Structure 1
Amino acid sequence: MRVVVAGATGAIGSRTVVRLRDHGLEVVTVSRSTGVDVTTGKGLAEALRGAEMVVDVTDAPSRAERTSTEFFGTATGNLLEAAASAGAEHYVVLSLVGAERVRAGYFRAKSLQEEQVRRSPVPHSIVRATPFFETVEAVSRSAAHSDGVHVAPVLLRPVAVDDVAAAVAHAAVGVPLFGAREVAGPQEYRFDDLAAKLLAARGETREVFTDPHAPFFGAVLGQERSLLPEADAHLGHTTFAQWLAQR
């Protein structure tokens, strides 16, 4: 089976490629480094020729709502058009938990992307992931103020990128869901507690403040449980302690 992976050089994409090859699939990688541009459509038709499946793990260059919305609107539209023209039988897209609830910032961009995929004639599966450990770390760094680090009072089940890649690959080799499947980490944390643990692990002494107005991916989260998955979510295996040890 021939599968095309768009965004193949990213953190998730590169791991997804390995997982799909482990399943015995013929994998074609799509990225600018391979001469294919999903935003202009350059090289897409040729790359997807004969593809039975397309895995979309592309990401926007910014978490800002306007930039990410424009990126996914264009890139996903081009990919879906090329997938339909190629006769692909399955389109798998990576989204994030909360996209259907938090209608602002990057979440809104991903929600609109999901809608594009649902409207396409190509059978689809959506894999929604909770924030990656690396994402939580990056947000905690960007939330630094003169008096310390300000983070939203939300609950998280951060997940390892390897576990997300495994979930994407598993969805790809299965039958189209025509809906969404969620993947999350095995442990639940309050964001302020996790941010403090991350800072301590880096040897930093800045204080962490719980701030209900602190944005996460460009959105102010009004509900404590906005980023938690549903009860039937697939849980990854990598714990926070294991992730730290791997780093």
Structure 2
Amino acid sequence: MKIAIAGGTGVIGRHAVRAAQSHGHDAVVLSRSEGVDVLTGAGLEERLRGVDVVVDALNTPSLSRRKAVHFFRTTSRHLLEAGARHGVAHHVVLSIVGIDGIDESYYAGKLAQERTVEASGVPHTIARAAQFHEFAAQISAHTSLGPLTIAPRLLARPVAAREVGEHLLRVAETDPAGRAPDLIGPEEHTLADMIRRMYAHDGTSRRVLEMRLPGAYGRGIASGALRGDPGSAQIGTTTFAQWLAQEHRAG
């Protein structure tokens, strides 16, 4: 099978590429480093020739609602339209567990992406996953100043990025289903706890101060909605402690 992976050099995409290759598939990376800009559509036509499945693992660092919505709507539209022209049989998109009631900031972009895919008429599967273990390092890099890190109040069941990439590959190997079962981690953590444990593991001397963000976005991420439902979701196996010991530096 020929599988094109948008964002194939990113945190999740690179794991999806490795999983596809390990299963004997022809993995096509859609990234700027490979001459493809999905936001403008440049390079897409050539790279999608002969592709059976598109996996969309694209990401944007923006927390602006306007920018996130524009990015995910535009990139999804380009992938869907180009895929339809080239007979792509299955469009798989990575989204986030529990965001239905948090139509704000970055999550508004992901919800707009889901709606764009659902309205396209293209055979698709939306695969939602919990926040990644890697999220602790990503957030702390942007919220630290000197000896202090501010951690937004966030409750989730984090999952390893490697397992998310493998999950996307399993979804890509099956028929379009509209929605795949959610993928969540084996344990419940606050973001502040994850960062503190990461600092302790790394020997970082920095105080972590947890703060509830204002507004609907802050209420949403603190509510526990991002944990997903362990009763219906698939559960990853890698704990945060295992990830710290085995994968933190490898990433």
TM over 0.5, shorter chain: yes
Give the whole-Å Cα distance in 2 for the aligned partners of 1:239 and 1:170: 21
**1:133-182 CA-partner distances (Å, limit 9, x unpaired):** 12122223433367843333332211111010011001100111112431
* 1:86-125 superposed matches below 5 A: 86-125=86-125
Counterpart for residue 196 of structure 1 = 196
Q: Does 222-231 or 111-120 show the bigger shift?
A: 222-231
Secondary structure at 1:17's aligned position in 2? Answer: helix
Counterpart for residue 218 of structure 2 = 220
Counterpart for residue 40 of structure 2 = 40
Report if the CA contact (8 A) 2:153-2:218 is conserved.
no
Give the whole-Å Cα distance in 2 for the aligned partners of 1:33 and 1:138: 22
* 1:1-247 superposed matches below 5 A: 1-144=1-144, 148-213=148-213, 219-222=217-220, 223-231=222-230, 232-246=232-246, 247=249
Give the whole-Å Cα distance in 1 for the aligned partners of 2:61 and 2:81: 22
Structure 2 residue identity aligned to 1:158: P
Structure 2 residue identity aligned to 1:182: D
Report if the CA contact (8 A) 2:147-2:205 is conserved.
no
Any gaps of 5 or more consecutive residues in structure 2?
none
Secondary structure at 1:220's aligned position in 2? Answer: helix
TM-score normalised by L of structure 2: 0.89
Q: Which runs of 4+ in 1 moved over 4 A?
A: none
Report if the CA contact (8 A) 1:8-1:30 is conserved.
yes
RMSD of equivalent CA atoms: 2.2
Report if the CA contact (8 A) 1:128-1:180 is conserved.
yes
Give the whole-Å Cα distance in 2 for the aligned partners of 1:191 and 1:43: 38
Give the whole-Å Cα distance in 1 for the aligned partners of 2:6 and 2:141: 29
Give the whole-Å Cα distance in 1 for the aligned partners of 2:217 and 2:136: 14
Report if the CA contact (8 A) 1:55-1:93 is conserved.
yes
Report the alpha carbon displacement of residue 214 of structure 1 after superposing the two structures with TM: 6.5
Structure 2 residue identity aligned to 1:173: E
Percent identity between matched residues is: 38
Report how many residues are paired: 245
Structure 2 residue identity aligned to 1:225: G
Report the alpha carbon displacement of residue 124 of structure 1 after superposing the two structures with TM: 0.7
Report if the CA contact (8 A) 2:160-2:238 is conserved.
yes
Report if the CA contact (8 A) 2:73-2:113 is conserved.
yes
**1:20-62 CA-partner distances (Å, limit 9, x unpaired):** 1222222222111221111111121121122221111111242
Secondary structure at 2:227's aligned position in 1? Answer: coil
| Structure 2 CA distance for partners of 1:193 and 1:5, relative to 1, 3 Å | closer
Secondary structure at 2:107's aligned position in 1? Answer: helix
Report if the CA contact (8 A) 1:152-1:214 is conserved.
no
Report if the CA contact (8 A) 1:182-1:234 is conserved.
yes
Secondary structure at 1:11's aligned position in 2? Answer: coil
Give the whole-Å Cα distance in 1 for the aligned partners of 2:161 and 2:33: 22
**1:65-96 CA-partner distances (Å, limit 9, x unpaired):** 22222111211110010111111111001111
Secondary structure at 2:183's aligned position in 1? Answer: strand
